[in-house]
Amino acid sequence: MSSRTVLPTLRFRADLRTLAVVGLYYALVVSSYSLAQSAWGKAGFCAALCLVSFLCAVIAHNTVHSPVFESRLWNRLFQIALSPGYGHPVSMFVPGHNLSHHEHLQQPKDRMRTDKLRFRWNLLNQLFFGWVVGASITQDNIKYALAMRTKKPQWFAQLMLELGAYAVLIGVGLVLDWKRFLLFIVVPHQYAAWGIMGINFVQHDGCDGEHLYNHSRNIVGRFVNWLTFNNGFHGIHHMHPALHWSKLPEAHARELHPHVHPALEQPSLLAYCFRAYIWPGRRVRYDGSPLILGPPRQDVPWVPEAVAGRISPRALVEDFGATG
């Protein structure tokens, strides 16, 4: 056995921050059970855990595209440790995100396509996006996982280990204090799921999924990208899904910035959300023209073709992306 398999060697030094955030989640959970006494203290811990759980969801997204470690073993162990922080098995990002969303952007096989939401008040489209698309994503996830039980038993075993790790967190949290469990584990995990799916609406609604460059909205502000591991550089991520998050700003500047519509480079997430959902709150295309939705489209199955292997290699990191 090589030393790379035994020692946790990072592929990119930038992922020291990734590990720090996952460690922070566990530190906050333990502290919330022992230190949060007053109402303000409980509210503060809940808010902090909501943010860090969302960041764990971002890390899960990053991990299924560009794994953290050189070693297969350490990537598997990391996904097991990360799953309780996100509140969902990391491996389950693969079917709903890599194979559906990346492969079929804004098409009937994309379970996260934004035209599913049709409220007249655009704020409601944003607020309810995650809950509307979540049911179809869950159905596909279950179908894919059941197929992988015989097609790729190693992947299925990894999924079960991640589920087991999350089950341990649930069990311990419930036994210690069910009220704190709801406040410090359930609420942050629900927020993380809502946030990681809801940001998709920001990144794609009103964009042109078939355009070479104008398929995604980018948030290019420094602070939000520092906080979210450059998640704002979304267009270049779709162009190069396996590119490590630390490399996205440079690639965006080189390959996307010279060609993308200026309105798809937003300097501030908060400012964009205020304009899009509060005032004037109109649902428009990226060029400012009214967004006219066609008739509702039915979901088209994609799981059978994914199980059969008819997918683009760039959409899926096989065997946990290990290089060692």
Q: Do 177 and 148 sit in the same domain of this protein?
A: yes
Say whether both 35 and 135 belong to one domain: yes
Same domain for 131 and 246? no
* Position 294, amino acid: G
* The length of the chain, given as a count of residues: 324
Residues 125 and 248 in one domain: no
- With a cut of 80, say whether residue 91 has pLDDT above it: yes
Do 87 and 71 lie in a common domain?
Answer: yes
Checking if the pLDDT of 319 tops 80, the result is no
Residue-range definition of the domain harbouring residue 217: 213-294
Do 30 and 163 fall within a single domain? Answer: yes
Are 186 and 288 in the same domain? no
146, 246: one domain: no
Q: pLDDT grade, residue 5 (50/70/90)?
A: low
| Residue 70: both structure tokens together | 């050189």
pLDDT given at position 310: 63
Task: Tell whether 100 and 11 lie within a shared domain.
Answer: yes
| Co-location of 192 and 168 in the same domain | yes
**Model pLDDT for residues 96-136, shown as the tens digit of each residue:** 999 999 999 999 999 999 999 999 999 999 999 999 999 99
User: What pLDDT score does 32 carry?
Assistant: 98
Count of domains forming the chain: 2
Residue 318 is assigned to a structural domain of this protein:
no
DSSP 153-201: HHHHHHHHHHHHHHHHHHHHHHHH-HHHHIIIIIHHHHHHHHHHHHHHH
pLDDT given for residue 306 in this prediction: 81
**What residue type is 8 in one-letter code?**
P
- 3-class DSSP state of 111: coil
Q: Is the dihedral of CA 95, 163, 199, 66 positive or negative?
A: negative
- Distance in Å from the first CA to the final CA of the chain: 11
Whether residue 315 is predicted with pLDDT greater than 60 in this model: the reply is no
Does residue 218 lie in a domain region?
A: yes
234 and 122 fall within a common domain:
no
Residue 260 has pLDDT above 90, yes or no: yes
Flag whether pLDDT at 152 surpasses 60.
yes
Same domain, yes or no: 114 and 188: yes
CA distance linking residue 45 with residue 41, whole number of Å:
6
* Domain boundary residue, one of 152, 178, 205: 205
Q: Which pLDDT belongs to residue 2? A: 52
Count of Cβ atoms closer than 10 Å to residue 189 Cβ: 24
The pLDDT of residue 183 is above 90: yes
**Mind listing the pLDDT tens digit for each residue in 198-246?**
999 999 999 999 999 999 999 999 999 999 999 999 999 999 999 999 9
pLDDT over 90 (residue 314): no
pLDDT digits (tens, 9 = 90+) for 249-258: 999 999 999 9
- 309 within some domain: no
Average confidence (pLDDT) over 61-82: 97
